[in-house]
């Protein structure tokens, strides 16, 4: 049933009855999967809960369902909360990276623009881009059987990103000019929440690296090779999940 999973808001559930009214989800149910009344599917609320339901009726505007059990917690999420600050990349690369880090279990994504961001940034498009990335994260969560959907924050400035606070979080940032600091050393004391920063294509400038350290972020390197920004994002989340999460 891995392809028969659908997001549903809690307010769409009344007792054992539920409805799906999202046009995209209805299209997938009727035209892609060709499901019919009596077919079973899985519902998840994006907050860690899931249940099975059976289709009672469907039309082009509405799918009515009967829950086979109540929504209940499902343990598929990592015990490690990873907040990933990502320097903005060219659109297709950033879309791909949002999808992949969602699959790896990231909890929140903070897009930011800094001095070496290549794409020209238009603040007027920030909200529409955030909505697009949130939709990508939601779809990726559904496909990989996650029950929680990562929160994609609105794009912000470098200083705004540094100022964001997450209680008890260990803070690291990837910097190719760092020579001594390693991720293993930075994580030696352990933490249940990590706020990790990955720069844009050009990385962080020296003034930005200094500013990040002043804000409490430890500089770390991932080895002798220079990684592309999207590769570095995948690697840092994978290593964090291996060291402190559920990929070990």
**pLDDT above 60 (res 1):** no
Interval 166-186 mean pLDDT: 90
200-229 as b/e, with b when 16 or more CB fall inside 10 Å? bbebbeeebbebbeeeebbbbbbeeeebeb
Which tokens hold the place of 31? 């035209």
The whole-model pTM stands at 0.80
Task: Label residue 123 by pLDDT band (50, 70, 90).
Answer: low
Sequence ranges of the chain with CATH classification 2.40.240.20:
5-73
**Average pLDDT in the chain:** 90
Q: How distant, in Å, are the alpha carbons of 35, 56, 127 from that of 59?
A: 11, 11, 32
Q: Residues 157, 170, 202, 108: is their CA dihedral positive or negative?
A: negative
Q: What is the pLDDT of residues 11-39, one digit of tens each?
A: 888 889 999 988 888 998 998 889 999 99
Sequence ranges of the chain with CATH classification 3.40.1280.10:
81-244
Task: Label residue 116 by pLDDT band (50, 70, 90).
Answer: confident
If you ran DSSP here, which 8-state letter would residue 4 be given? -
Q: What is the pLDDT of residues 34-84, one digit of tens each?
A: 999 999 998 888 777 888 999 999 998 999 999 998 888 877 889 999 999
3-state DSSP call for residue 9? coil
Which tokens hold the place of 178? 């760092």
pLDDT of residue 128: 85
Task: Write out the H or E segment, with its range, that includes residue 151.
Answer: strand 151-152
Q: Evaluate whether the domain defined by 81-244 bears CATH number 2.170.120.40.
A: no
Q: How many residues does the chain have?
A: 248
Q: Evaluate whether the domain defined by 5-73 bears CATH number 3.40.50.150.
A: no
Q: What is the pLDDT of residues 203-238, one digit of tens each?
A: 999 999 999 999 999 999 988 888 999 999 999 999
**pLDDT above 80 (res 122):** no
Which tokens hold the place of 75? 């343990």
Measured in whole angstroms, the distance separating CA 67 from the mean position of its chain's CA atoms is: 28
Task: Label residue 121 by pLDDT band (50, 70, 90).
Answer: low
105 near 141, Cβ under 8 Å?
no
Q: What is the percent of the chain where pLDDT is above 70?
A: 96
Task: Write out the H or E segment, with its range, that includes residue 239.
Answer: helix 229-244
The secondary structure of 27-78 as a DSSP string is: HIIIIIS---TT-EEEEE-SBSEEEEEEEEEE-SS-EEEEESS--EE---S-
Centre a 10 Å sphere on the Cβ of residue 72 and count the other Cβ atoms it contains.
Answer: 9
Q: What is the pLDDT of residues 180-200, one digit of tens each?
A: 888 888 887 778 999 999 999
């Amino acid at each position: 049933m891995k392809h028969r999973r659908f997001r549903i808001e809690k307010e769409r559930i009344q007792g054992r009855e539920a409805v799906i009214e999202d046009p995209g989800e209805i299209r997938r149910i009727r035209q892609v999967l060709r499901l019919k009344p009596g077919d079973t599917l899985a519902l998840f609320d994006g907050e860690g809960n899931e249940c099975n339901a059976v289709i009672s009726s469907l039309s082009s505007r509405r799918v009515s369902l009967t829950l086979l059990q109540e929504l209940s917690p499902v343990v598929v999420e990592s015990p490690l909360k990873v907040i990933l600050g990502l320097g903005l990349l060219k659109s297709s690369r950033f879309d791909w990276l949002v999808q992949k880090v969602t699959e790896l279990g990231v909890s929140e994504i903070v897009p930011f623009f800094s001095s070496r961001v290549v794409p020209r940034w238009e603040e007027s498009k920030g909200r529409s881009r955030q909505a697009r990335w949130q939709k990508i994260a939601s779809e990726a969560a559904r496909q990989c059987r996650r029950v929680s959907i990562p929160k994609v924050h609105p794009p912000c400035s470098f200083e705004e990103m540094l100022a964001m606070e997450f209680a008890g979080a260990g803070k690291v940032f990837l910097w190719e000019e760092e020579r001594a600091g390693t991720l293993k050393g930075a994580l030696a004391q352990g933490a249940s929440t990590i706020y990790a920063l990955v720069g844009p294509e050009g990385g962080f400038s020296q003034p930005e690296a200094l500013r990040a350290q002043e804000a409490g972020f430890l500089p770390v390197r991932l080895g002798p090779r220079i990684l592309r920004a999207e590769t570095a994002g995948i690697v840092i989340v994978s290593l964090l999940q291996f060291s402190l999460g559920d990929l070990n």
